[in-house]
Chains A and B, each alone.
Chain A
Amino acid sequence: MANIKLENLTKRFGENTVVDRVNIEIPNGTLVSILGPSGCGKTTLLRMIAGFETPDEGSIFFDQDSVVNVPANKRNIGMVFQSYALFPHMTVEENVAYGLQQRKLSKEEIDARVKQVIDTVHMKEFQKRKPKQLSGGQQQRVALARALAISPRLLLLDECLSALDKKLRVEMQTELRKILEESKVTTFFVTHDQEEAMTLSDFIVVMNKGIIEQMGTPLEVYEKPKNKFVASFLGKANFFQSEDGTSFAVRPEKIHLSAEEQAGARQEGVITFITYSGNITSYTIECDGEAVLCEKQNVQIRENLKKGQKVFLRWDKDSEIELADE
């Protein structure tokens, strides 16, 4: 476990600056999601922290120690790869023991630790199997156990859930959260799934084209996105211009719809599209040629709004999110 600090971390591949002056400081024991579109530099950032890529500029601190010149195998970092990267010629047990065997530990210590970690991820009955004989979710657990076994100072997870199907992914998210909270290890979790980032993390770092757009708690980043990119990448947003020319965003669920004219209505338009998805219904409303998205929780079945109908839109002043200029 450690306090992690990234200072002006920069990586270029040829002309291409893939990670651009990234500054992050993470307190001990927190779980941080790195969220961003494909190709924005998430993996590269993680690989620099792990020691597989050398940064062109900047430094990485674990507590007070700069680790830029420390080789990967001396950094004591647990890493879970997107492909899991389990050793195919070793059993579950042997995979989990691997990292411990590189350290000066007695056989008893190793066995005890392996047993403990395998129990944590509920893989006891599979411990004699080879990775090929396991399902994706099970391999995932082994990869996590192997990384946790060495009691790493820092855990790095690179889109490790994205290969699983939706149901299993949600299950694993909850379990992962539980395991990580128990082990109290500082964790970087890369994903491009915003829901996953929200569910799992204490902090979300939103990345785009190598820079950090915003960092904050899920609540902060969702409720107070700094700019258009963050607002639209994390959740859905409608963008409007106010009279003075500044732009602001409103989340779809914060817009109230009514068929009758009402005091304080901000816009009026015609419903062009209705999607019913069980818990919510989404309405697309055309206002002055702009499509506005509005979502209603289906507290009761509402039938009163129909496609083609004229509606009035209203929202509270504090639902308006002011955006920094692009």
Chain B
Amino acid sequence: MKKKKKLLTFPSIIVLTVFAILPLIIMLVYSFQSDSGSSGVTLENYTNFFLKSVYLKLTYRTIINSLAVTIISLIISYPLAYFMAKKFKGLKNIVMILILIPFFTNQLVRVYSWLIFLQDGGVLNSFLQSVGLIEGSLGILFTQGAVVIGLVHAFFPYMVITIYLALERVDNSLLEASSSLGASKVRTFFQVVLPLSMPGVVTGIMIVFVPCLGTFVEPRILGGVNGTVIGTVIEDQFFEIYGWNFGAAIAFVLFAMVIISMTGLSRIGRRYDNE
């Protein structure tokens, strides 16, 4: 029986090795070679990255951007998920479909829609002008703000779903128990609902923050020259500059950031695990 099970896992192990681990190893090897052509193992790509303040600044900006996206997503997602799970049960399906639309939209279509919407003289600009909120041009496109808007739109649905699922599992009888024990609605929320939904919140944070670290499409299109983040640098290294070795090294720095944040978050997540 045990042997058979082991045999059955074999194909998946091969697939994993070929498609995930092997490329990683190749990248790792690349990252220790020089772009200048000299052969042999070198740390120059990594020292380059860590010694040049421009890359550290970019790393910082990437983290700040991702944090901003995560926090804004959380602010939007939690109330939305809460009302879907606990208040407007009837509207739940409609809201869910509306939220899921970005899922099914092609990334480029979605991003270019924002481009058109946010650009100077675009829809938002004209609207704000017509209601008299601003004069002249909006000037939001090609800033970090535009990037964050685009990323929030792309990622918050994931967070709504993880939080919604966690809230759905909070049994209404718990809320009634809390109320019968004398707790007000607000206290019930902070002492019962919120702690019990934390696993969903933590998963949501992970599911938004981690992929945000590596994005390059939104930063490039909505951020323009101001949008440079680690993701765009890596992309440039591979497709524009052909500095594959340096690119691989940055990718590994990013990879380390991903691993660190995932471990940290799942640590926090485990604290709320009651299973």
The A-contacting residues of B in range 56-107, CB under 8 angstroms, are none
- B144-152, B182-190, B223-231: which lies at the A interface? B182-190
- B21-29, B30-38, B45-53, B173-181: which lies at the A interface? B173-181
Of A81, A88, A132, the residue contacting B176 (CB under 8 A) is: A81
B177 and A89 contact, CB distance less than 8 A: no
The B-contacting residues of A in range 60-82, CB under 8 angstroms, are 71-79, 81
Distance of A51 Cα from B175 Cα, bound (Å): 13
Q: Give the shortest distance, in Å, between A247 (CB) and chain B (any CB).
A: 43
B177 and A85 contact, CB distance less than 8 A: yes
Distance of A88 Cα from B166 Cα, bound (Å): 13
A89 and B178 contact, CB distance less than 8 A: no
Nearest chain-B residue to A52 (Cβ)? B176
Size of the chain B interface, CB-CB below 8 angstroms: 20
| Interface footprint category on A | 20 to 34
Of B176, B195, B275, the residue contacting A72 (CB under 8 A) is: B176
A98 and B183 contact, CB distance less than 8 A: yes
Contact indicator per residue, chain A 128-148, by CB within 8 Å of chain B (1) or not (0)? 001010000000000000110
Residues in chain A near residue B182, CB distance under 8 A: 73-74, 76, 99, 102-103, 150
Contact indicator per residue, chain B 177-213, by CB within 8 Å of chain A (1) or not (0)? 1111111100100011001100000000000000000
A83, CB-defined interface residue at 8 Å: yes
Central interface residue in A78, A88, A99, by most chain B CB within 10 Å? A88
A50, CB-defined interface residue at 8 Å: yes
Distance of A89 Cα from B190 Cα, bound (Å): 13
Q: Give the shortest distance, in Å, between A71 (CB) and chain B (any CB).
A: 8
B12, CB-defined interface residue at 8 Å: no
Distance of A87 Cα from B184 Cα, bound (Å): 16
CB contact under 8 A between A146 and B181, given known A88-B196, A88-B274, A89-B196? yes
A78 and B173 contact, CB distance less than 8 A: no
B184 and A85 contact, CB distance less than 8 A: no
Distance of A60 Cα from B272 Cα, bound (Å): 40
13 further A-B contacts with Cβ under 8 Å, apart from A72-B176, A102-B184, are A52-B176, A73-B181, A73-B184, A75-B180, A76-B182, A85-B173, A86-B177, A88-B274, A89-B195, A98-B178, A102-B183, A146-B177, A147-B180
